[in-house]
Copies of this chain bind each other. A is one copy, B any other.
Amino acid sequence: MIGERISDKTGRSRRDAGPTATVEDVARLAGVSRATASRVVNDSPRVSPEARDAVRRAIEELGYVPNRAARSLMTRRSDSIGVVILEPATRLFGDPFFGHLLLGINAGLADSDVQLVLLMAQDRREEARVEKYLDAGHVDGAILVGPHGDDQLPTRLARRRVPIVLSGRPLGGGGLSYVDSDNRNGARMAVSHLVAGGRRSIATIHGTLDLGSARDRLDGYRDALTDAGYVLDATLEAAGNYSPAMAAEAMRVLLDRHPDLDGLFAASDSMAAAAVGVLLDAGRRIPEDVAVVGFDDTPVAMTVRPTLSTVRQPIEAMGREMSRLLLRRIDDPADAPSQVVFATELVVRESSVVS
């Protein structure tokens, strides 16, 4: 029932030229059976060198590429993973963080021929859609970026045995795999640096507190002050929620409450930059009157004047690690969840030291 056919049938598809050779074609040309051809394609060791060579040549000649759908149907693997962005649009816009992370994730996939399916969920409705998609097993696993405190999605997926890795420590459930940077220590270093510079009234603009990173950075801020024997003052803390606009407003409030403040730690560079704008507008000199440290070491830190001292996290490496963990977990579902925390590093520029 097969007979004459190679790369052509009656009304095959819209693609006229494209490589549509099948294993069948390859096998015939190589003078072996489908099974053997398939074995060669999948690097099975149980193939004689001669057969292997013949098949390889046939593959080359026909420009054969396996049909992923057919393979998936058989292997029950999609050879793709989902990267789910749970963050609302606003953050994605301003923050180069996500681009960096995607790059790292992609790099981590590079020698595995697993594809990256991008799934964005701006609201609960879209999130439900994404959940259904993941649940249906259309991807072999997923990396979840930015789940907030009250979001049960990770837990639900984990319970249904969907392999997942989170970006950032989840506030809720334990037992999940995640990759994070040492936000707390990064913040501690930043604020200790301000203390060491002789600053006495150090404020902070923190991120959305239902995010682990935001909470950890705030804790680090408090750690440093406590270490230095300062008394914590809640009125020196204001929410900027990782938004430049809200950070600007927060800065105004802080300045109003503490006209004498002489140090500021902002939980992101974009918030720091916005705060710097407000400080300059208010006639403060930076760093003479107010020393400022941000977080992330994004390009804006170098663009703004004065250039921004900040805390660097190895975003790309983190993305790569997330891929690595997920692939491992997909390969071996019994693999225990792992948590990986990357070190952060203080980068001192103009905004925090009087030269």
Contact = CB atoms under 8 A, between A and B. Distances in A.
A6 interface: no
Given A116-B117, A117-B80, A160-B17, A132 B96 contact: no
Contacts of A258: none
Contacts of A102: 92, 118, 120
A301 to B, nearest CB: 11
Interface stretch (A68-76, A172-180, A199-207, A226-234): A68-76
Interface string A100-125: 10110010001000011111100000
B136 A19 contact: yes
Nearest to A73: B69
A299 B281 contact: no
A94 interface: yes
Given A19-B135, A100-B93, A300-B300, A118 B116 contact: yes
Most buried by B among A99, A103, A135: A99
Contacts of A95: 96, 99
A65 B93 CA distance: 33
Contacts of A56: none
Contact of A92 (B17, B67, B99, B119): B99
B305 A303 contact: no
A93 B299 contact: yes
Contact of A304 (B98, B162, B277): B277
Contact of A303 (B12, B96, B304): B304
Given A15-B161, A305-B280, A93 B99 contact: yes
B281 A13 contact: no
A339 interface: no
A110 B125 CA distance: 12
A49 interface: no
Interface in A245-273: 245, 270, 273
B69 A299 contact: no
Contacts of A43: none
Interface in A212-252: 244-245
B303 A273 contact: yes
Given A18-B135, A18-B137, A103-B120, 5 more contacts: A65-B132, A68-B69, A94-B300, A95-B96, A98-B99
24 contacts: A15-B161, A18-B162, A65-B135, A67-B73, A68-B72, A68-B138, A69-B69, A69-B72, A69-B78, A92-B103, A93-B99, A95-B96, A95-B99, A96-B96, A106-B118, A115-B138, A116-B118, A244-B299, A245-B302, A270-B303, A277-B305, A300-B300, A300-B303, A304-B304
